[in-house]
Amino acid sequence: MDSTISFFYSSGGRYFPNPYGEWNVLINENGLILIKNIHKDIINFEKQFFILQNENEQVWNIINDMELENIIIKRNIALPDEATHEFVLKTNDKTIQKRILNNELLKFPKLKSFQEFLKNIILRYAKIQAVF
């Protein structure tokens, strides 16, 4: 994590009905996590918290293991009302951003694993079930 600054995840789907909406998660290198659930232009839920050091190490290991820079995405046609997931890794020297349609996400098990880890962290610290 020498040069890592932050990681951002968005589930897309801001205009999907509740309980979905759009989930945004920002993680900084010190273990601070900011989460928001947005439906249309209304923030339904917003919270920030620090995770434990071992969890922070675990999340950054998962992020690094995803190897975002090596993911090649073929632009398929989206299904009607399909969400686009966004993964953004910002470091001191570069930004890697990937946008992946929901139906393509299954092709990337490491990204799905990251989502599951996030859901568990959000449930543990924010006491809310994230749906993405």
Q: Could you tell me the fold of the domain covering 4-125?
A: Mago nashi protein (3.30.1560)
Write the pLDDT tens digit of every residue in 67-118.
999 998 877 676 667 788 999 999 988 999 999 988 888 889 999 999 999 9
Write the pLDDT tens digit of every residue in 1-26.
444 589 999 998 887 766 678 899 99
| SS3 labels along the chain | CCCEEEEEEECCCCCCCCCCCEEEEEEECCCEEEEEEEECCEEEEEEEEECCHHHHHHHHHHHHHHCHHHCCCCCCCCCCCCCEEEEEEEECCCEEEEEEEHHHHHHCHHHHHHHHHHHHHHHHHHCCCCCC
